[in-house]
Amino acid sequence: MKRKILINGRFTSHHFAIRNVVFNMTKELSTKNDLDVYVLLNKDSDYKDFLNLNIKIILNPVKADNAILNHLYTIFILPFLLISKQFKLVVYPQICIYLFNPCKTILYINDLIEFYVESQRKIQLMFRKVSYPYICKHADHIMTISQNTKKDLIKIFNVVEKKITVAYIGYSDSIFPIAKKQAEEFIANKYEVKDFIFYIGYITHPQKNLIYLADEFVIAKKIFPNLSLVFAGPKGKDADMILNHITDIGLGGSFYYLGKIPSEDIKYLYSACRIFCFPSLYEGFGMPVLEAMACEAYVITSNVSSMPEIINDEDFLINPHIVGELSKKMIEILSGKANEQSPIKNRERAKMFTWASHVNALHQVINNLIR
């Protein structure tokens, strides 16, 4: 007999990373013959891809971007839904605030950035510091996507180690390398940019460390004057401060902000860039690093939090607090002094991270909770 489980699949209109997580998790779980998979999605979400999966969809009438109403729905409505539909287990692919669940609960905690980087307003931070220990205590099991976050959970919330499973996530099937010349021509024709350093992710301060990236780029540009800097991704906290700083340091026509770009263009940008730079101060995982590696890009990222677990190559890890360290590594690569095999090694390393292996680990946890 199949066991009924529910995935609480809320994702906001701007949170493309969580959407990918929910979709890929649902897709892989739907292939498990012993599970009857339901997914709870907001009525206004873009869920057309989910319709092709072997699952059942329940629509939440609350708009996805309304955080307060969604929290209230999870606290007061969802428990009755779990009872009425007789679910054996509920999976929260991201942190959700709840008082109780009438079935087994698997909670995902992907990062604890609030405890390391000033990324939230004070009232939000206070709320999370109170609520997070509660939901950790009442979850039957916690899944996380890096050893770094597991250490944080043990250190900050005193979660017992046996209650935590680490399972790395994978990248989308739509991410793969494009021939260099083909990718460069595509980006030159569509975005009118070439010979560029690339960053994709939220344009937010201070977590992503983009002011540091811009300042380091200026140093490299003195030696390579034709170089451009390209940012892509939605605006987040203090985005205007970042963009104004870039203007103030005189990048002008050498900087391109593409905003949110079509998903089919991402692999072309990764494949065409001279270097992908991701000098973040903290990441629960760092999906753009993995995607760039999968597209055979040179990648420079930070030696903090989870990033070393992905790239695992000290030659391309920098201290994101030291002035001159990133630009030095940029210049080394642009000058042809870096190992030419590194992009190929990056792709081979990226192949180790798959959604199938992640969901196999999740499936094992489900089996342990509801035999």
Residue type for position 356: A
3-class DSSP state for residue 334? helix
56 and 192 in a single domain? The answer is: no
10 and 30 assigned to the same domain? yes
Q: What is the CATH number of the domain that holds 56?
A: 3.40.50.2000
Q: What is the pLDDT of residues 247-297, one digit of tens each?
A: 999 998 899 999 999 999 999 999 999 999 999 999 999 999 999 999 999
Mean pLDDT of successive 10-residue stretches along the chain, which has 371 residues: 95 84 96 97 94 97 94 96 97 92 96 83 77 94 97 96 98 95 98 97 95 98 97 93 96 94 96 98 96 98 97 94 97 95 96 97 97 80
| pLDDT at res. 119 | 66
Cα gap 361→359, rounded to integer Å: 5
pLDDT at residue 38, rounded to an integer? 98
Residues 69, 137 within the same domain: yes
The reply to whether 212 and 310 lie within a common domain is yes
Q: Global pTM?
A: 0.94
| pLDDT score for 120 | 65
Residue type, 333: I
How far apart (Å, rounded) are the C-alpha atoms in residues 166 and 40? Answer: 24
- Give the count of domains, the chain: 2
User: Can you give the residue range of the structural domain that contains 139?
Assistant: 3-170+354-369
pLDDT at 219: 98
pLDDT of res. 188? 98
What is the pLDDT at residue 130?
A: 86
Residue 126 burial (CB count, 10 A): 11
| Burial 89-116, CB ≥16 within 10 A → b, else e | bbbbbbbbbbeebebbbbbbbbbbbbbe
Residues 244, 135, single domain; the answer is: no
User: Does any domain span residue 102?
Assistant: yes
Residues 291, 227 share a domain? yes
DSSP category for residue 85: T
228 and 295 both lie in a single domain: yes
**Rounded (10°) CA dihedral 235, 236, 240, 242:** -100
In the prediction, which pLDDT does 247 show? 95
Question: 149 with 200, same domain?
Answer: no
Asked if 137 and 186 sit in the same domain, the reply is no
Residue 175 within a domain: no
Pairwise CA distance, residues 298 & 338, whole Å: 9
Backbone angles phi, psi at 62, to 5 degrees: -80, 140
**Same domain (yes/no): 141, 205:** no
Judgement on whether residues 205 and 128 belong to the same structural domain of the protein = no
| Domain annotation covers residue 25 | yes
Residues 6+ apart with CB under 8 A from 203: 210, 231, 233, 234, 235, 236, 239, 242, 243, 257
Same domain, 100 and 55: yes
